[in-house]
Chains A and B, each alone.
Chain A
Amino acid sequence: MTTSPTTAAEVVAAVQQARAKKSPLQPVGGGTSLQFGLQSSAPVEQLSLAQLNRVVDYPARDMTITVEAGVTMQDLATTLAKEGQRLPVDVPQADRATIGGVIATNWNGFRRFGQGPLRDFVIGIEAVDGNGLLFHGGGRVVKNVAGYDFCKLLCGSLGTLGIITQMTLKVRPLPERSAWLACGVNDAKKAEAMLAALQQSAVTPAAIELVSGSVWQQQTVLSELKLTPQNFGLLVLLDGTTTEVLWMKDHLRREWREAGIVNPLMQDGTAEPWPAVQEFSAHVDSPLTVQASVVPSGVLPFVAACRKRDPDCSVIAHAGNGSVFVRFARFPDKGLGELLMGDLQPAAAAHYGHVVILNAPPGAAITHRSMWGGEAPLGVMTAVKRKFDPFDLLNRGRFVY
């Protein structure tokens, strides 16, 4: 069953009802990330935020916007573009994904390298906790240290501390020009050297993407990269004024030429990414999609660990930040828990990271421990959860506690 409140007060009422009935709630935005994390252990009532979809205030000259949680990323982008602005967070299925859901899952797009993570853009937040308390953090100004930072705390909390109802975002001007440069790289050693060089380069990319696997081999626009199951593609996005982008393009080509890359593939003058760059993780035809967060130097070793288990897996990494997305070609024979505990979590942990599931078949057996295998102060997290949601109503059983 689904309820669809139209105001924050109705969200409060829905939580109070759930509390009275002791029945858990699953807050839902566009429904694009319902597979994220574990599946709820109890039968759930869904609470849709889709009708909380108003733009509350958009003082464009202050470069902030206040919106309700159910506004889709596409509508948000359209509103901001009218004033020459944007939230530089690119998500898959932007026509369905809502800003509330993006914040709850701490989704970060490929522009994170140049523009910073999503959490840096959330400057005010409103949510309803499991006690039915409608609470706020932050405000509507770009700099503010009054009180505890609920914006950060709720970002990535998977709706388990509060149902996010409204937020104020800091926005950025749209770049005058964007360009992509791409090249094929033969092996992991060379790829690592090129990634490290990009960090030292005078060029300041907006995104540094490393790709590999069959998904990319099938992209006809990338055919010049001559991708094989063993090599890699390196995709670099340049954002800025025309003068800046042209200078960076020229400079990067020169740097790459010295590294033996003669004719990089280019796509200039459009902000549109190559197909699949933005939508990669949304493809549900893959039996298993995971995301690893590791240090940047851990990207290639983690990809190697995945290829060892499934030579046909496909990968995109926001390599400058250490976010790796892997689509496996087949479901692991020995089950998901074994794959995670046996290989993926240790491979990520070796580089200070951990792995989460973005998409797995319904009923894939997985334990709490294998899902959330990394090191974290769970005691304090659980204490916070108990204060905000003492009856364990919100997304029960899906997160780390």
Chain B
Amino acid sequence: MQSIPSPSAPTLTRLADALRRAIGAENVLTARSDLMVYECDGFVIEKNSPDIVVFPRSTADVVKIVKLCNEARVPFVPRGAGTSLAGGCLPIGGGVMIVLMRLNRILEINYRDRYAVVEPGVVNVHLTNALKGSGYHYAPDPSSQGACTIGGNVATNSGGPHTLKYGVTVNHVLGIEAVMADGSVIQVGGPAEDPLGLDLVGALVGSEGTLGVVTKVWVKLTRNPQAWRTMLAIFESCDHATQAISEIIGAGIVPAALEMMDQGILVAIEAAFNFGFPLDAQAILLIEVDGLDAGLDQQRDQIVELCKKSNAREVRLAKDEKERLKLWKCRKQAFGAIGRLSPSYCTQDGVVPRTQLPHILRKITEISAKYGLKIVNVFHAGDGNIHPILLFDERDAAQVERVLHASNEILDACLACGGSVTGEHGIGVEKIHFMQKMFSPDDLQAMDNLRQAFNPGGNLSPMKMLPTAGGCGMEQKHPGRRAAL
């Protein structure tokens, strides 16, 4: 097994000095206490501190950083807000972390041609806020949208509740400027659709920082819908709720969002937000249809009927915009409420064909019992994108071990019914060992070929996404420091 050689202390000292000279000392961190902040993202199971953290303020700064890292043969990894959940910005082997949060300007908004140009550190919701009153918004709305950045969204191809109807990040990115692993700058795509040549935008989105460091993004703007109908369907069993999902999708209705929350998570959300959720319900569906006001009552009635057919106890309608926004606040901040349930949690991310939702939820219940772990569910049901949340205490090594095993079993079950091990969080380091289960050696060879074309030296984001990246047949070992250790 080949691993990344850790850079020597003198090399790092020289590099840090050179970086200070190149981009200003105020944009470089090297003190151990400062670096601790950057030792993990939202995936807390594994941690490793970078040796140096830098904050570029321009594309030119990123170029200088990348060139200096290459000269010193020190690996580098880009990072946005660090909200990702699969360890995509874990600095394996240390090295330099390029934090793009200070590249945070909205450069242009063009309503006639429906695009905006932003720097990667722009927080997702800041773009939508900047569009308020224009009748447009930026459609991808990950639950972390108050913190996560557009650059990070591009890296992980983020989704969100409303991607059921509106699509994920890749469907909304027109162009990218990126600094390549060798320090060259490329622009792929731009304001117009169908750019010349290969769809490198499609290749870069979701590449988890392994193909380039994104420094500018052209995104599509989406018209706001004229009206909404938001419903809360209450069920006595998870089976009935998943059955309703199947009925709605099967009937050819594409809601704007179709989210499920089970009792475990409802208790925490209710304690945090006092919405008035029925705590005796086993599951609720949050269903939103949007579009022309003229067609919505008909769609709403159809959905209510399908829910009732699937034994919904009650279907409530959000009575006004205020109630609707409160419902969405509850859903999007559900993760924040989990702190009430346990000291640590691991959010899993798997996908199954939508008709397999009843099966996979039963499987999760079995796995929860088998490992004696509490698992709660809040997820994008309409896409078949499950988010079981495994509750544990990271100070207990035995629990951490059980969480890893239970997670693996859930994801294996997703694969067994024709699904995927990640719908929107990414592979990162967390799921690298699943790549060989999901893809053939030839598939992985083709992926490695693509990475080699962009990132031949492997100095950019080493040991991520592909089991072969940065090492020959690297075994799945948890490369960072375990949370519990």
Contacts and interface: CB of A to CB of B under 8 A. Distances in A.
B193 A145 contact: no
Interface in A117-176: 117, 119-120, 129, 133-137, 139-153, 155-157, 161, 172-174
Contacts of B449: 129, 387-388
Contact of B223 (A137, A204, A323): A204
A148 B353 contact: no
Interface string B430-452: 01001100111011011101111
Q: Which of B246, B380, B422, B466 has the most CB of A within 10 A?
A: B422
B427 A146 contact: yes
A142 B197 contact: no
A270 B452 CA distance: 50
B72 interface: no
A247 B294 contact: yes
B298 A241 contact: yes
Contact of B438 (A133, A146, A240): A146
A119 B446 contact: no
User: What bracket does the count of chain B residues touching chain A fall in?
Assistant: 35 or more
A241 B295 contact: yes
A62 B353 contact: yes
Contact of A120 (B171, B353, B442, B443): B171
A36 interface: no
Nearest to B167: A120
B197 A387 contact: no
A172 B254 contact: yes
Contacts of A153: 198-200, 202-203, 450
B188 A376 contact: yes
Interface stretch (A89-97, A178-186, A280-288, A292-300): A292-300
A237 B137 CA distance: 24
Nearest to A85: B252
Contact of B298 (A85, A120, A243, A294): A243
A147 B443 contact: yes
B202 A119 contact: yes
Interface stretch (A25-33, A217-225, A334-342, A349-357): A349-357
B420 A141 contact: yes
B170 A352 contact: no
A199 interface: yes
Interface of B: 111-115, 135, 156-157, 159, 163, 167-168, 170-171, 180, 184, 186-188, 190-203, 205-207, 223, 226, 246, 249-250, 252-254, 291-292, 294-295, 298-299, 351-355, 380, 383-385, 418-427, 431, 434-435, 438-440, 442-443, 445-447, 449-454, 465-466
Given A142-B383, A199-B112, 13 more contacts: A60-B250, A62-B384, A63-B252, A106-B199, A137-B447, A148-B206, A152-B201, A153-B203, A244-B292, A293-B192, A375-B187, A387-B453, A400-B197
